[in-house]
Amino acid sequence: MISAFVPTLNNETTIRRVLQGLKAQTVKTKKIVVIDSGSTDKTEEICRSEGVEFYPKEYFGNFERLGLGRARNRILELIDTPYILSVDSDIIVRPDHIERALPIMEADPNLGGIAGKQIELHRSELGDRCRAVVEMRDLHQPISSQTPQYKDFILGSNNIYRVDALHKVGIIENNNKFRPYEDKFMSNYEDVDIGIKLRKQGYKLLWDPSIHTYHLQKDDVRSFIDRAYRYRVFKWQLQGAFEDAGLYRRKIEHNINYTQMGFDILCEKSRWYLSYPFIIAGFTFFLEDISRFTEGHPMASKIYSSFIKSLDFFVSDDIKEGVLEYNKKLLDQISTEPTDDIDDEIFAWFLKLAKLEVFNKKFPAMHDKKTIQTDVSLKQKAVEASKYRMSYEDKLAIYGDFKVLLANPPWQKDGRFGVNAGSRWPHTYDMSRYDANLPPYIPYPFFMGHLYSMLQNTGISSWVIDGIAEGYSDEEFIYEIYGYAPNLIFIETSAPSFENDLQYASSIKEFIPETKICMTGSHVSYLKEKLLDYPAIDFGIIKEYEETGLILSQALKADTDYSKISGLIYRSGDKAVFNETDSDTDFKSLPRPERVITPFFNYNDRPIDELVYPSLQVQLSRGCPFKCTFCLWPHTFYGKKYRTADPQVVADEIKSGIENFGIKSFYVDDDTFNVDMKHLHRFCDSLEVNDINLPWMAMARADGGLDEDLIIRMKANGLTALKFGIESIDEDVLKEINKKLDIAKCEETLKLCRKHGIGVHLTFSIGYIADTEETIKKTFNWLVSQNTDSQQVSIVVPFPGTPMHDQLIKKGILDDNKHSHFDGNSFLVFENRLGHKLTERLKDKWNTDWNSFKQKLRHSE
């Protein structure tokens, strides 16, 4: 009924997966034929080991020189089936590919061919991301919303053709049923040509997005730009655009529109790190055109002269030097001298590129609700950071025999987007309130960042996907993992995100079942052995997971025993084993967390406007000596020990943030910033020695001993504001949550902050068992009396793993233990004396009254 055909050349890294996909078809092929045009790697050895028909170069000739059309013609001589399935040597088809496509073909004799949706799997490094996100635009529109369409042609990379339709075209076009294709066409036009011929004979061609195929092509930035150019220029050459001035005007428009589309998509999706490759492409497409004109053609001179003139207008010498270096080979081949005779349209485009006027007015802060418009210096820094990432990726160990992936999965449901890794209060946002594709607050995932640096430092191939900060859809996240095909995945989870994360783990196992999945995060410390009740999970790590994660990675890579690893949860036969741990991570010994390959400009923790974007999140310490019963991380991650970082290392991080990303502020993301006053003085020493004086802010305890001298010194070193967790001023509530807060000392601290111009942001929570309307009103009135700069109030969440959760279980009043309901921005999950609805109303009233109070103050000034 159907045969399968795979053309190949040096595809040892992908060919086995391709052939295994064909052999796994639920509707079996009569034969699988591989045509090789002269591989020098292990392609032939792999093909023969898979038991398929293999035809080497000697039999078919070098079809890359003669044209892929020749190979597609010759395969017709080897088959006697009514249908032929063709897939490229880097395309994986699902087991039901033929089963889904063939009935559609059989039902309509006028259907000449059918192709499925090609989904890019490699999307880690910049070149791959450019191709996947912009070139292919495969996930720009969710697959679920895409519908079958009749096309002018279908991709050569995956298709099923009716063989008698190809024979008919061959006879009519070339008087030979085995020659429907033109031998001269290379791998980027023979599919277009055969589509034109089939439609000319009355056949239809169908593209069905419900039939998925997976593309394993890999690109660096240079190969992406080269491929994007070649795929397009061929058509223009055939039409004679380089001899016809009118046609070349359309080619100019095409070059500009394609590149501008790239800028528009990367802005829309907050993928700022793709900016430099598209700046390069914007120039290179035209410089490549020069060689297509005949020698001495005036348009070639105009393009070159326009380019040379534009060099005087670059806002960044770094970007200009990068453009010149990238195009050095092309520029060295140009023998003409630049003149004053330029092309106005091309020069205007070059100016937009040089001045960075091709971006959204908020780039790269499209998601930041406090930003109205960014200046050119910030745009410049983002593009320079993209350039730096391009070279930085070459230094990393990303691909190898054993690969580790660190993942923070997307968390999106019913119009709500969640924040998880890096958040002490995991929660979701109603995105209908924000004109952005990312939540307004995205914390940096420090555990992931430190572990990634540790893996790289020990030579373990690794990658990191922060699906939340990337704004990934479900499909983007899953397909990047499929393409990377890691041996081990770490997923940081929490109670409210657990069901979401578990669903991703199950999906990953369906496609790459041999991959081991290790759950980490606060909820793992709560579940312990119960974590392995879920078959998709292979391991778990309690508490801080950097050191244990590295040891597990090393053990799995070396295939050695992991049963004695402290803090590890693993399976031994049908039994779940949990290795207890009392040890704490040596915080000072951790390497600096990875920043370059994470989406830096998307991280955002700026409670106040004075903390200027872009802002760096750093940690000066870990842990908290206090015992508040509701607090998640001290109880599930850190244990009892408070540890400090080396202030000079943190200062180096800040300096690196200034140099690489142009940061204008930083936020000290500690559990409790002001536990050790000597440590804070040492931090001020480091800021002074390194001449750092940016606005900064920290989370502190209001009765924690911040004396006036220290406040004055921190103010002199850039301290702009402090965030204090108050929760309540009612003694019964404070006793319930074991928060031994001295309200009088809090007031003294707030007074000192006001005196020295330090902004104050206070946080509160309501809904405790001891809470009444009166206690909440009393706390609110106290807030008004302090007249702080800003505040936030939440409904208390008894996260699993905290003493508060255990206490409510014992009292029998935790009436909802569903994981996803422990959302920091959700409803009350236990019975208090107020009831659910009244608690919600009191929270809303609190915010309404606060906004009214601040508005009256502004009007009275």
What lies within 8 Å, CB to CB, of 855 at 6+ separation is none
Name the DSSP class of 201: T
SS3 letters for 579-643?
A: CCCCCCCCHHHCCCCCCCCCCHHHCECCCCCCCCCCEEEECCEECCCCCCCCCHHHHHHHCCCCE
Q: 813 φ, ψ to 5°?
A: -120, 5
Q: How many CB atoms lie under 10 A from the CB of residue 100?
A: 17
Q: What is the mean pLDDT of residues 735-760?
A: 95
Q: What is the pLDDT of residues 356-368, one digit of tens each?
A: 999 999 999 988 8
Which residue in the block uniquely carries the two structure tokens 């430099």?
Answer: 276
CB 241 within 8 Å of CB 250:
yes
Distance CA 433, CA 530 (A): 37
- Token readout for 351 is 């100016």
Which residue in the block uniquely carries the two structure tokens 């997307």?
Answer: 410
Q: What is the pTM of this model?
A: 0.91
Distance CA 74, CA 763 (A): 73
Distance CA 745, CA 811 (A): 33
Q: What is the pLDDT of residues 516-565, one digit of tens each?
A: 999 999 999 999 999 999 999 999 999 999 999 999 999 999 999 999 99
Q: What is the pLDDT of residues 638-672, one digit of tens each?
A: 876 899 999 999 999 999 999 999 999 999 999 99
Tell whether the torsion through CA atoms of 298, 300, 302 and 305 is positive or negative.
negative
Per-residue pLDDT band for 138 (boundaries 50, 70, 90) equals: low
b/e map 152-179, b = 16+ CB within 10 Å: ebbbbbbbbbbbebbbbbbeebeeebbb
Angle formed by the axes of helices 275-290 and 245-268, nearest 10°: 170
% of the chain exceeding 90 in pLDDT:
79
CB 524 within 8 Å of CB 541:
yes
Q: Where are the domains of the chain?
A: 2-217, 226-386, 396-587, 605-860
Q: What is the mean pLDDT of residues 462-488?
A: 95
Name the DSSP class of 130: I
What is the predicted pLDDT for the residue at 16? 95
Distance CA 535, CA 571 (A): 10
CB 113 within 8 Å of CB 85:
no
Angle at 501 between CA 500 and CA 507, to 5 degrees: 95
Distance CA 843, CA 777 (A): 11
Residue 59 has pLDDT above 80, yes or no: no
Counting DSSP H helices and E strands in the chain, the numbers are: 32, 27
Work out the widest C-alpha separation in the chain, in whole angstroms: 98
| CATH class of domain segment(s) 396-587 | alpha beta
Q: Which segments of 693-767 are extended strands (E)?
A: 696-700, 719-727, 759-766
**529 Ramachandran zone, left/alpha/beta (phi>0; psi -120 to 50):** alpha
Residue 3 has pLDDT above 90, yes or no: yes
Q: Helix, strand, or coil here: 390?
A: helix
Per-residue pLDDT band for 861 (boundaries 50, 70, 90) equals: low
% of the chain exceeding 70 in pLDDT:
97
Which residue in the block uniquely carries the two structure tokens 């277009």?
Answer: 192
Q: What is the mean pLDDT of residues 38-66?
A: 83
Distance CA 787, CA 784 (A): 5
CA atoms within 13 A of residue 186's CA, in its CB half-sphere: 11
Q: What is the DSSP string of 446-501?
A: HHHHHHHHHHHHTT-EEEEEEHHHHT--HHHHHHHHHHH--SEEEEE--TTTHHHH
What is the predicted pLDDT for the residue at 159? 96
What is the predicted pLDDT for the residue at 67? 65
Distance CA 544, CA 634 (A): 10
Pairwise pLDDT comparison (861 vs 424), residue with the higher score: 424
Distance CA 644, CA 371 (A): 33
Pairwise pLDDT comparison (582 vs 834), residue with the higher score: 834
Residue 62 has pLDDT above 60, yes or no: no
146-160, 162-176, 246-260, 273-287: which has the minimum mean pLDDT? 146-160
Angle at 381 between CA 379 and CA 387, to 5 degrees: 110
185-189, 197-201, 472-476, 710-714: which has the minimum mean pLDDT? 185-189
Per-residue CA distances from 56 to 45, 62, 278, 459 (Å): 11, 9, 39, 38
Which residue in the block uniquely carries the two structure tokens 């508005």?
Answer: 855
Distance CA 323, CA 581 (A): 53
Q: Report the Cα–Cα distance between both ends of the chain, in Å, rounded.
A: 84
Distance CA 464, CA 504 (A): 16
What is the predicted pLDDT for the residue at 580? 86
Distance CA 319, CA 283 (A): 12
Q: What is the mean pLDDT of residues 343-355?
A: 98
Distance CA 861, CA 846 (A): 23
Bond into 591 cis (ω within 30): no
Q: What is the pLDDT of residues 829-852, one digit of tens each?
A: 888 889 989 999 999 999 999 999
Bond into 364 cis (ω within 30): yes
User: For the purposes of burial, counting CB atoms within 10 Å of the CB of 822, is it exposed (0-12), middle (13-18) or buried (19 or more)?
Assistant: buried
Q: Which fold has domain 605-860?
A: TIM Barrel (3.20.20)
Q: What is the mean pLDDT of residues 704-728?
A: 95
Q: 424 φ, ψ to 5°?
A: -80, -10
Q: Which segments of 56-203 are extended strands (E)?
A: 83-87, 91-93, 111-120, 149-150, 158-162
Give domain 2-217's CATH superfamily: Spore Coat Polysaccharide Biosynthesis Protein SpsA; Chain A (3.90.550.10)
What is the predicted pLDDT for the residue at 183? 80
Q: What is the chain's mean pLDDT, rounded?
A: 93
Per-residue pLDDT band for 189 (boundaries 50, 70, 90) equals: confident
Among candidate residues 15, 208, 40, the one with its CA nearest the CA of residue 113: 208
- Token readout for 840 is 């919600």
252-256, 293-297, 764-768: which has the minimum mean pLDDT? 293-297
What lies within 8 Å, CB to CB, of 575 at 6+ separation is none
Per-residue pLDDT band for 60 (boundaries 50, 70, 90) equals: low
Per-residue pLDDT band for 38 (boundaries 50, 70, 90) equals: confident
Distance CA 286, CA 288 (A): 5
CB 73 within 8 Å of CB 177:
no
